[in-house]
Amino acid sequence: MTQRHDRIARRFDELKAANRAGLVTFISAGDPDYEASLETLLALPEAGADVIELGMPFTDPMADGPSIQASTLRALEGGQTMAKTLSMVRALRERDDATPVVLMGYYNPIYCMGVEAFLAEAAEAGVDGLIVVDLPPEHDAELCLPAQAHGIDFIRLATPTTDAKRLPLVLENTSGFLYYVSSTGVTGAAAPSAERVAEEVEAIRAHSALPIGVGFGIRTPEQAERIARFADAVVVGSAFTDAIGEAARPEDGVRRVVDLTRSLSEAVHRAREAEEA
């Protein structure tokens, strides 16, 4: 068994002590190319990312909307591989041993590499968690439990359609945090109603002490601030992949992501200031 680093637990403990939510940023590894993507990854913690989700590019990202699908395609066309994705994590760990990194994607690339080989390399590289959107709890023995044996948290998604009967099964082996998908549909969908999401998050808290990150449809500092008033973390993805995809040059994409991260982080941090005043 690999020794756990518990970066995710420590980060959420720090956020709770500071009475603020965290910012979780998503980028696709290798988008638009390896060098620019690595530069972006290395810049995210200083810009204000509390947790980083790094997408594992896959040819059939069925749960993702057009923006993240396009980012995945750019990465694959640029030659991104699982080996390069893990190399990016190693490069981050050379300068940052505190910021949690969660790999997000689909089971196929992991299965093709071999579960044990992937988990051993991921743990060695410094990966803290996995979000694998196409492996339901019924298949925990395939990846979830082996990942946890390697010291890697397995982060599950809950949605507005996860009913009271299904929720205990979703939560059973979830660790790190719970990712609450605030709207139905694919990533990048319409922004959720903060009031409705707050009620749904509160209902989940009755069943779990895990931190809850809320994502899908959050694109602006104003939206992030509203969600940060009650969530433990705010997850933003498509806004970053759009920033990269719309940039004229790779270096422009890096700058746009860094600028957006700063503005989102500031909004998330100030969300509870009124309560403290």
Can you give the residue ranges of every domain in the chain? 7-267
Q: Specify the pLDDT at position 4.
A: 59
64 has catalytic annotation: yes
Q: Specify the pLDDT at position 60.
A: 85
Active-site entry in 31, 53, 140, 232: 53
Q: Is the pTM of this model over 0.85?
A: yes
d(CA 33, CA 73) in angstroms, rounded, equals: 11
- 7-267: in CATH 3.20.20.70: yes
Query: In Å, how far are 3, 82, 123, 146 from 120, measured between CA atoms?
Result: 12, 13, 5, 10
Q: What is the mean pLDDT of residues 230-251?
A: 97
DSSP assignment letter at 231: -
Q: Specify the pLDDT at position 5.
A: 72
140 has catalytic annotation: no
Q: Specify the pLDDT at position 241.
A: 96
Q: How many CB atoms lie within 10 A of CB 225?
A: 21
Active-site entry in 31, 64, 232, 242: 64
Residue 24 CB partners (closer than 8 Å, separation 6+): 49, 50, 51, 52, 53, 102, 213, 215, 233, 234, 235, 236
Residue 16 clears pLDDT 50, i.e. is over it: yes
pLDDT tens figures, 188-239: 455 557 899 999 999 999 999 999 999 988 999 999 999 999 999 999 999 9
DSSP assignment letter at 137: G
d(CA 128, CA 152) in angstroms, rounded, equals: 5
Model confidence band, residue 170 (pLDDT cutoffs 50, 70, 90): very high
